[in-house]
Structures are given as structure tokens and as C-alpha cells.
Amino acid sequence: MTTSSALPFASAAILGAGLMGRLLGVSLARAGCRVGLYDAGGADGSGAAARVAAAMLAPLAESTVAPPAIVRMGRHALRRWPELLAPLARPVFLQREGTLMVWHRQDAAEAARIEQWLQRTARSLPGLPAPQLLDAPAIAALEPALDRRFPRALYLPDEGQLDNRALLDALLQTLAADPRVELHWQAPRGPDDFKPGSRGQPDWVIDCRGLGAHPDWPALRGVRGEVIRVQAPEVTLKRPLRLVHPRYPLYIAPKPDQLFVIGATEIESDDRSPVSVRSALELLSAAYTVHSGFAEGRIVEMATQCRPALPDNRPMIRMPRSRLLQINGLYRHGFMIAPALLDVAMQWLAEGRSALAGEFELEVQDR
């Protein structure tokens, strides 16, 4: 589906200018809607969980911790992201070179368990490519930088990643250039600040505030994630890599200009204080065991953010009252599931129902 079809209303207020808020703003404006976008922070998105992320599009890799519905959303995203990026004001790095999972010899049993799980998942979900077990020469052919570093690896074809910060910036530039869009920064708003459908008010209010919506959605909780960005000219990884480890599983996502996003911890807490020494040591030590070139890299940033999650770690779209739509609970899967949530929301707004919602086991709760 596309998100540019006509809508049965003329205006909307979007609360929260993170990933979902910006995607919806662009899609609604392209459909001819006047949009007011309100955010408690600034245009740089520094308060958004989407800014502190690796933006990996890895449905099979995530299937070890996510239910099949999330995996199906991830497959949907792999198709939809190129369509969503094409009309933006500037290009955004998007890669689909697969994911490589590696492990040290002492973790071979855990890797074998994961391989069996991934094989079962691939068989049960049509269209999901099966993982491929690689030996050392095949690893070196795929990732020369890892030559002789690992005896075995799993290659998950067709998975991808994008540049999260470049995407947020491109969405911002697209919104700012559209005369139908008004941007309001340092302007926290809640649903009760609007009377949608009344004279002088927007026709709809769409709440995408993440954890900012907690006063109106008490079931939301924060899941703390810590991410380190490293400039490492001596490391030449071509695709996202995951290190299998029983205590601190690691991902390394190579971005343009020899920048690597290394993460991520997952702590049940809404604490946004700086990265802990323990987390930094574990993440950087694990990265060093993957490639010694990280030792000569430069730490560009250590960042912390809290992901909004609901009790079952699944997203939800609900309409608690007339003309108010709330989208939340993207948890750790934001970039992988945002296109699915966007398309379901746009269908719902246009038609009062969504055929896609059933495919993703996503019930739109209507009053």
C-alpha cells in the first residue's frame, strides 16, 4: 500500500516528533492534510528514542526474542523502506546486505541452539530466507575483515539497516519544506489540549509521544538502552554483525564514513542517566574480541535512551475516544516495525478499518 491516498479529513495534530510522528507527518501532508507537529524537545530529535538506535532491519535475527507478528512487520518494512525514503528531501543510507552472526568457540552450544530456532522460524514464515551456516573460508569471502577470526558463522540473507539520524534529518527537512506542515518545538502537548472536530481545532489528534504519553497510558514502561558510536578507520565490516554471547549479546552496525554503532544493553528502567562503566566495558570489550581494530578507534558518543514498551513488548494502536489515535510501544523494534504501524494507521484514518492490522496481529482498539 502507499500512504498518499485521499483522506476524509483536512487537518491533524501530531504529538511527538520522533520516528512515528515524523513518518506520519510526511504521509499525512502528502495525502493533502494540514499537519501541526508538536514536540517537547527540539528539531534535532535529541529526546527521541529513535536517535539512539542502530536502525537494523533484521526480522529473522530478531525472531529469537520477538513473536512472529513482529517478524512479519519486519518483512513488511524491508519492502516499504525504499518506498518511504524515495520522496524525502535528501537521500538516506539504506543497506540490504544481510546480517552476520558470529560466536567464539566457547559459545558454540548457544549458537547451535540459535541456529535451530532460526531454521524453524524461516520454515514457518513464508518469504523469510533461511539462515546459512558458513565455515571460515566463506566468512572471509563475505567479510574479509573477519578472516581467520571465527571458525563458523550464520549468514541471514536479505536483512538490512539504515542511518537513523540521517533519516530523522531527512524527514525533518521534508516536513519543513511542506507549506501544509507547521512545526512546534519546545511545545509539549497532550490529548486534552485539543478538542478535535471543533471550530478552529484539528480534525484528528494522533499521539506518538512514546514514554511522554505515560500520564495518559499508565501501562507504558521504559526499557533503558545504551549505545556507543565509534569511528574506527581500521575496521572494514560491510554489514551488521551480531555476536552470540550468553551474557551480553552484541551488535555492531557499520554506518557511512567508518562509523560503527555498538550496542545495546537492555535494562528494565526508565533511568536516562549516562552510560554506566560496566556497560561501556562490556560493549567495548566484546567489540574488541570481534575485531582488534576497534582498539584504535575513537569514541564519538556514548548515549542512553529509554524505549517505550507495553507489558507484552508489542506495539499497540488504540482510539480511546473519538478522533484521538494513539500509537505506542515500539520497544526495541522501532525502525523494523514503524512502516507497518504507519500503514495500519493510515488505513485506519482513511477507512475506519485496516486489513493490514490482522496480518500483523495488531488489533486497533476502538473505544
Contact call for residues 118 and 156 (beta carbons, < 8 A): yes
Tell me the C-alpha distance between 98 and 89, whole Å: 27
**Per DSSP, which regions of the chain are E strands?**
11-15, 34-38, 56-57, 94-95, 99-102, 132-135, 152-156, 160-162, 181-184, 204-207, 221-231, 241-243, 250-255, 259-263, 298-309, 316-321, 324-328, 365-366
Instruction: Name the residue with cell 485506519.
Output: 348
CATH superfamily of 11-51+164-218+311-366: FAD/NAD(P)-binding domain (3.50.50.60)
Instruction: Name the residue with cell 478535535.
Output: 196
Q: What is the DSSP letter of 44?
A: T
- The closest of 272, 244, 85 to 164, measured between CA atoms, is 85
Residues of the chain with pLDDT under 70: 1-5, 367
Q: What is the b/e burial string over 267-292, where b = at least 16 CB atoms within 10 angstroms of the residue's CB? A: beeeeeeebbeebbebbbebbeebbe
Number of Cβ atoms within 10 Å of the Cβ of 198: 10
pLDDT, tens only, 143-179: 999 999 999 999 999 999 999 999 999 999 999 999 9
Kindly tell me the number of DSSP H helices and DSSP E strands found in the chain: 9, 18
Instruction: Name the residue with cell 541452539.
Output: 113
> In the prediction, which pLDDT does 5 show?
57
Tell me the C-alpha distance between 287 and 281, whole Å: 10
What CATH class does 95-160+221-308 carry? Answer: alpha beta
Tell me the C-alpha distance between 239 and 143, whole Å: 8
Distances from the Cα of 365 to the Cαs of 113, 179, 214, 294, 307, in angstroms?
Answer: 37, 33, 17, 47, 22
**Domain locations along the chain:** 11-51+164-218+311-366, 95-160+221-308
Instruction: Name the residue with cell 574480541.
Output: 289
Tell me the C-alpha distance between 12 and 30, whole Å: 13
The residue type found at 267 is I
DSSP characters over 96-128:
-S-EEEE--GGGHHHHHHHHHHHHHHHHHSTT-
> In the prediction, which pLDDT does 126 show?
83
Q: Give this prediction's pTM.
A: 0.96
pLDDT, tens only, 5-31: 579 999 999 999 999 999 999 999 999
Tell me the C-alpha distance between 133 and 112, whole Å: 10
Q: What is the DSSP letter of 153?
A: E
